[in-house]
């Protein structure tokens, strides 16, 4: 009787091996050969699933998206809206090694999206996920009265999304200028500016 191969399980095994390499050594180290060695496979066997580094890292982003979706679904997100929004948005900033490595994969996909349709698709999926959380965050702040009356919520969502992407990029490029504490402060100051705008509006 022919051996039945659980391809989903094998891909999951490769994803775990891939992230061990990325977590330990960085995105540049995530090659077909290094992932095969980490998983205890031969490079030829791994190429049955992923022929190139681009395919590996595209799959890595799929793994990131799935994990983030599970994490957000499992979290209660209870508490005062302002603190809850800050906590939720910090999930997208490179505040520790795990989130930094995920951000490095995001940056790699960003650089390759123009020439790789698969990378572009995964990048768009990741971007839509962040956009969805930002939409919920700004709506929650507005519902709690923490955004200026009459503010353009669509514009505020775009600004906040751009801030998250910009902070992430700066943290990856100039880590010494954007340590985790600084990222948290800048995000908090932006969220507080929405409240300040509300107070200024009320004063007028």
Interval 5-53: pLDDT, tens = 577 788 888 888 888 898 888 888 888 899 999 999 998 888 888 888 7
Considering the domain architecture, whether residues 44 and 136 belong to the same structural domain is answered as no
Give the domain range for residue 17.
1-51
136 lies in the same domain as 87? yes
Mean pLDDT taken over the chain? 87
**What is the pLDDT at residue 201?**
46
197 vs 25: which has the higher pLDDT: 25
Do 111 and 179 fall into the same domain? yes
In terms of domains, do 69 and 151 share one?
yes
User: Considering its fold, how many domains does the chain have in total?
Assistant: 2
DSSP state string for 76-144 = ---S-HHHHHHHHHHTTS--SHHHHHHHHHHHHHHHHTTT-HHHHHHHHHHHHHHHHHHHHHHHHHHHT
CATH at residue 39: 1.10.10
Q: For residue range 106-130, what is the model confidence (pLDDT) as tens digits?
A: 888 888 878 888 888 888 988 999 9
**Residues 41 and 61 grouped into a single domain:** no
């Amino acid at each position: 009787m022919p051996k039945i191969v659980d391809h989903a399980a094998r891909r999951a095994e490769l994803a775990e091996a891939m992230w061990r390499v990325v977590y330990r050594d960085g995105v540049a180290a995530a090659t077909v050969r290094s992932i095969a060695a980490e998983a205890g496979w031969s490079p030829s066997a791994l190429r049955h699933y992923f022929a190139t580094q681009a395919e590996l890292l595209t799959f890595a982003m799929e793994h990131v998206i799935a994990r983030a979706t599970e994490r957000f679904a499992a979290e209660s997100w209870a508490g005062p809206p302002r603190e809850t929004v800050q906590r939720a948005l910090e999930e997208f900033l490179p505040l520790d090694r795990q989130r930094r490595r995920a951000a490095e994969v995001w940056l790699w996909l960003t650089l390759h999206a123009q020439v790789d349709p698969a990378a572009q698709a995964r990048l768009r999926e990741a971007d839509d996920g962040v956009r969805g959380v930002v939409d919920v965050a700004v709506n929650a702040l507005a519902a709690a009265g923490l955004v200026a009356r009459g503010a353009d919520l669509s514009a505020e969502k775009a600004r906040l999304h751009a801030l998250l992407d910009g902070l992430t990029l700066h943290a990856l490029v100039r880590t010494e200028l954007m340590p985790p504490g600084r990222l948290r402060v800048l995000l908090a100051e932006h969220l507080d500016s929405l409240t300040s705008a509300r107070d200024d509006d009320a004063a007028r």
